[in-house]
Amino acid sequence: MVEAIDVVEIGAGNIGSVKRCLEMLDIRYQVVNATNPPTGDMPLLLPGVGAFGPVMDHLRKDRLDERLVDLVKNGTPYLGICIGMQILFDSSEEAKNTRGLGLVSGVVRKFQDGKVPQIGWNNIEISPSLNGKNTAHFPEEGYVYFVNSYYPDPAVKENVLYYADYYVRFCAAVAHKNITAFQFHPEKSGKFGKELLKRWIDSVT
Protein backbone atom coordinates (compact mmCIF):
# COMPACT_ATOMS: atom_id res chain seq x y z
CA MET A 1 0.00 0.00 0.00
CA VAL A 2 1.31 3.42 -0.90
CA GLU A 3 1.92 5.79 1.98
CA ALA A 4 0.35 8.76 0.26
CA ILE A 5 -1.08 10.09 -2.99
CA ASP A 6 -0.78 13.55 -4.47
CA VAL A 7 -4.30 14.78 -5.32
CA VAL A 8 -3.93 17.50 -7.93
CA GLU A 9 -6.17 20.53 -7.48
CA ILE A 10 -7.07 22.02 -10.85
CA GLY A 11 -9.50 24.78 -9.98
CA ALA A 12 -12.52 22.90 -11.31
CA GLY A 13 -15.27 20.83 -9.75
CA ASN A 14 -15.33 19.38 -6.28
CA ILE A 15 -12.56 16.97 -5.33
CA GLY A 16 -14.16 16.37 -1.94
CA SER A 17 -15.79 13.09 -2.97
CA VAL A 18 -12.42 11.68 -4.06
CA LYS A 19 -10.79 12.76 -0.81
CA ARG A 20 -13.56 11.11 1.22
CA CYS A 21 -13.20 7.92 -0.81
CA LEU A 22 -9.44 7.81 -0.16
CA GLU A 23 -10.11 8.30 3.54
CA MET A 24 -12.56 5.37 3.49
CA LEU A 25 -9.83 3.27 1.85
CA ASP A 26 -7.39 4.41 4.56
CA ILE A 27 -5.09 6.06 2.01
CA ARG A 28 -3.19 9.16 3.09
CA TYR A 29 -3.11 11.99 0.59
CA GLN A 30 -2.00 15.56 0.20
CA VAL A 31 -3.45 18.20 -2.09
CA VAL A 32 -0.95 19.63 -4.57
CA ASN A 33 -1.30 22.66 -6.82
CA ALA A 34 0.72 25.50 -8.31
CA THR A 35 1.78 26.82 -4.90
CA ASN A 36 2.49 23.34 -3.54
CA PRO A 37 3.56 21.46 -6.67
CA PRO A 38 4.00 17.69 -6.88
CA THR A 39 7.53 16.33 -6.80
CA GLY A 40 6.97 12.90 -8.33
CA ASP A 41 7.65 11.07 -5.08
CA MET A 42 4.02 9.98 -4.86
CA PRO A 43 1.50 8.75 -7.44
CA LEU A 44 -0.64 11.50 -8.97
CA LEU A 45 -4.43 11.51 -8.92
CA LEU A 46 -6.15 14.26 -10.91
CA PRO A 47 -9.94 14.32 -10.44
CA GLY A 48 -12.57 16.92 -11.18
CA VAL A 49 -15.60 17.99 -13.16
CA GLY A 50 -14.93 20.90 -15.46
CA ALA A 51 -14.50 22.23 -18.99
CA PHE A 52 -11.43 21.38 -21.05
CA GLY A 53 -10.48 24.96 -21.93
CA PRO A 54 -10.65 26.59 -18.48
CA VAL A 55 -8.89 23.63 -16.83
CA MET A 56 -5.99 23.77 -19.30
CA ASP A 57 -5.83 27.56 -18.90
CA HIS A 58 -5.64 27.11 -15.13
CA LEU A 59 -2.82 24.59 -15.43
CA ARG A 60 -0.86 26.70 -17.91
CA LYS A 61 -1.22 29.91 -15.89
CA ASP A 62 1.36 28.66 -13.38
CA ARG A 63 3.06 26.11 -15.67
CA LEU A 64 1.62 23.25 -13.67
CA ASP A 65 0.90 21.57 -17.02
CA GLU A 66 4.65 21.38 -17.70
CA ARG A 67 5.30 19.91 -14.26
CA LEU A 68 2.66 17.21 -14.77
CA VAL A 69 3.96 16.30 -18.22
CA ASP A 70 7.54 16.05 -16.97
CA LEU A 71 6.59 13.89 -14.00
CA VAL A 72 4.42 11.51 -16.01
CA LYS A 73 6.99 11.19 -18.79
CA ASN A 74 9.58 10.33 -16.12
CA GLY A 75 7.44 7.49 -14.80
CA THR A 76 5.28 8.90 -12.00
CA PRO A 77 2.04 6.86 -11.88
CA TYR A 78 -0.96 8.95 -12.87
CA LEU A 79 -4.69 8.36 -12.45
CA GLY A 80 -7.06 10.80 -14.14
CA ILE A 81 -10.77 10.98 -13.39
CA CYS A 82 -13.31 12.70 -15.67
CA ILE A 83 -11.65 15.96 -16.82
CA GLY A 84 -8.42 14.49 -15.42
CA MET A 85 -8.71 11.93 -18.22
CA GLN A 86 -9.74 14.31 -21.00
CA ILE A 87 -6.83 16.73 -20.57
CA LEU A 88 -4.39 13.87 -21.21
CA PHE A 89 -5.32 14.00 -24.90
CA ASP A 90 -4.13 16.27 -27.70
CA SER A 91 -7.31 18.32 -28.06
CA SER A 92 -11.05 18.44 -27.41
CA GLU A 93 -14.08 19.44 -29.45
CA GLU A 94 -15.13 21.39 -26.36
CA ALA A 95 -12.26 23.89 -26.85
CA LYS A 96 -10.91 23.51 -30.37
CA ASN A 97 -8.16 26.09 -30.02
CA THR A 98 -6.80 24.69 -26.75
CA ARG A 99 -4.06 22.06 -26.61
CA GLY A 100 -4.25 19.28 -24.06
CA LEU A 101 -1.30 17.70 -22.29
CA GLY A 102 -0.65 15.38 -25.23
CA LEU A 103 0.33 12.43 -23.05
CA VAL A 104 -2.13 10.13 -24.85
CA SER A 105 -2.67 10.56 -28.59
CA GLY A 106 -6.23 11.30 -29.62
CA VAL A 107 -9.15 13.72 -29.48
CA VAL A 108 -11.99 14.25 -27.00
CA ARG A 109 -15.33 14.18 -28.84
CA LYS A 110 -18.88 15.29 -27.99
CA PHE A 111 -21.82 12.89 -27.82
CA GLN A 112 -24.06 13.56 -30.82
CA ASP A 113 -27.12 11.55 -29.78
CA GLY A 114 -29.23 10.97 -26.70
CA LYS A 115 -29.55 13.24 -23.71
CA VAL A 116 -26.33 15.18 -23.18
CA PRO A 117 -24.70 15.07 -20.72
CA GLN A 118 -24.89 11.38 -19.97
CA ILE A 119 -25.76 11.25 -16.29
CA GLY A 120 -26.09 7.96 -14.43
CA TRP A 121 -24.96 4.38 -14.26
CA ASN A 122 -23.58 2.51 -17.24
CA ASN A 123 -21.79 -0.78 -17.78
CA ILE A 124 -18.10 -0.84 -18.70
CA GLU A 125 -16.40 -3.78 -20.41
CA ILE A 126 -12.69 -4.54 -20.63
CA SER A 127 -11.24 -3.84 -24.07
CA PRO A 128 -10.69 -6.98 -26.18
CA SER A 129 -7.78 -5.29 -27.97
CA LEU A 130 -5.67 -5.47 -24.81
CA ASN A 131 -5.23 -9.22 -25.28
CA GLY A 132 -4.52 -9.66 -21.58
CA LYS A 133 -2.17 -6.66 -21.36
CA ASN A 134 -2.84 -4.29 -18.44
CA THR A 135 -5.90 -6.28 -17.36
CA ALA A 136 -4.48 -8.08 -14.34
CA HIS A 137 -5.48 -5.36 -11.90
CA PHE A 138 -8.99 -4.68 -13.19
CA PRO A 139 -12.25 -6.67 -13.37
CA GLU A 140 -13.80 -7.62 -16.70
CA GLU A 141 -16.90 -5.42 -16.33
CA GLY A 142 -19.14 -3.58 -13.92
CA TYR A 143 -21.49 -0.64 -13.49
CA VAL A 144 -20.06 2.82 -12.80
CA TYR A 145 -21.37 6.37 -12.57
CA PHE A 146 -20.90 8.85 -15.43
CA VAL A 147 -21.46 12.60 -15.79
CA ASN A 148 -20.09 13.52 -19.21
CA SER A 149 -20.92 15.32 -22.43
CA TYR A 150 -17.61 14.37 -24.04
CA TYR A 151 -15.60 11.17 -24.36
CA PRO A 152 -11.99 10.42 -25.39
CA ASP A 153 -11.22 8.87 -28.76
CA PRO A 154 -7.67 7.44 -28.51
CA ALA A 155 -5.65 7.24 -31.72
CA VAL A 156 -4.21 3.91 -30.54
CA LYS A 157 -7.03 1.53 -29.68
CA GLU A 158 -4.67 -0.68 -27.67
CA ASN A 159 -4.64 2.13 -25.08
CA VAL A 160 -8.34 1.61 -24.33
CA LEU A 161 -8.87 -0.14 -21.00
CA TYR A 162 -12.68 -0.09 -20.87
CA TYR A 163 -15.47 0.55 -23.36
CA ALA A 164 -19.06 1.62 -22.66
CA ASP A 165 -22.08 2.31 -24.85
CA TYR A 166 -24.16 5.48 -24.97
CA TYR A 167 -25.63 5.70 -28.49
CA VAL A 168 -22.05 5.08 -29.60
CA ARG A 169 -19.38 2.71 -28.32
CA PHE A 170 -16.88 4.92 -26.58
CA CYS A 171 -13.67 4.74 -24.59
CA ALA A 172 -14.51 4.80 -20.87
CA ALA A 173 -10.95 4.29 -19.58
CA VAL A 174 -7.37 4.14 -20.82
CA ALA A 175 -4.21 2.38 -19.69
CA HIS A 176 -0.95 3.50 -21.28
CA LYS A 177 2.43 2.88 -19.64
CA ASN A 178 2.22 4.55 -16.19
CA ILE A 179 -1.07 6.31 -17.08
CA THR A 180 -4.51 5.08 -16.08
CA ALA A 181 -7.61 7.23 -16.52
CA PHE A 182 -11.36 6.86 -16.05
CA GLN A 183 -14.04 8.94 -17.78
CA PHE A 184 -16.47 7.83 -15.07
CA HIS A 185 -16.36 8.59 -11.35
CA PRO A 186 -15.10 5.58 -9.37
CA GLU A 187 -15.51 7.52 -6.11
CA LYS A 188 -19.27 7.74 -6.82
CA SER A 189 -19.60 4.17 -8.12
CA GLY A 190 -20.20 2.31 -4.88
CA LYS A 191 -18.29 -0.81 -3.92
CA PHE A 192 -17.21 -1.53 -7.49
CA GLY A 193 -15.74 1.94 -7.94
CA LYS A 194 -13.84 1.76 -4.66
CA GLU A 195 -12.45 -1.59 -5.77
CA LEU A 196 -11.17 0.00 -9.00
CA LEU A 197 -9.41 2.72 -7.03
CA LYS A 198 -7.93 0.19 -4.63
CA ARG A 199 -6.66 -1.97 -7.49
CA TRP A 200 -4.97 1.02 -9.10
CA ILE A 201 -3.37 1.99 -5.79
CA ASP A 202 -2.15 -1.58 -5.28
CA SER A 203 -0.78 -1.66 -8.84
CA VAL A 204 1.42 1.41 -8.33
CA THR A 205 3.19 0.09 -5.22
In the three-class reduction of DSSP (H, G, I as helix; E, B as strand; rest coil), residue 186 is classed as: helix
Q: Residue 176 forms beta bridges with which residues?
A: 179
Residues in a beta bridge with 174: 160, 181
Pairing of strands 169-176, 179-182: antiparallel
Cα–Cα separations (whole angstroms), residue 158 to 15, 150, 155 = 30, 20, 9
In the 3-class helix/strand/coil scheme, how is 16-68 assigned residue by residue? HHHHHHHHHCCCCEEEECCCCCCCCCCCEEECCCCCHHHHHHHHHHCCHHHHH
130-166 CB burial, b ≥16 within 10 A, e <16: beeebeebbeeebebbbebebbbbbeeeebbbbbbeb
Q: Residues 58, 82, 171, 176: which is the catalytic one?
A: 82
Q: Is position 23 annotated as part of the catalytic site?
A: no
| Residue 3 annotated as catalytic | no
Residue in 9, 21, 58, 185 annotated catalytic: 185
For 187-198, the three-class secondary structure string (H helix, E strand, C coil) is HHCHHHHHHHHH
Question: Catalytic: 187?
Answer: yes
| Three-class DSSP category at 175 | strand
In angstroms, the first-to-last Cα distance of the chain is 6
List the catalytic residues.
82, 185, 187
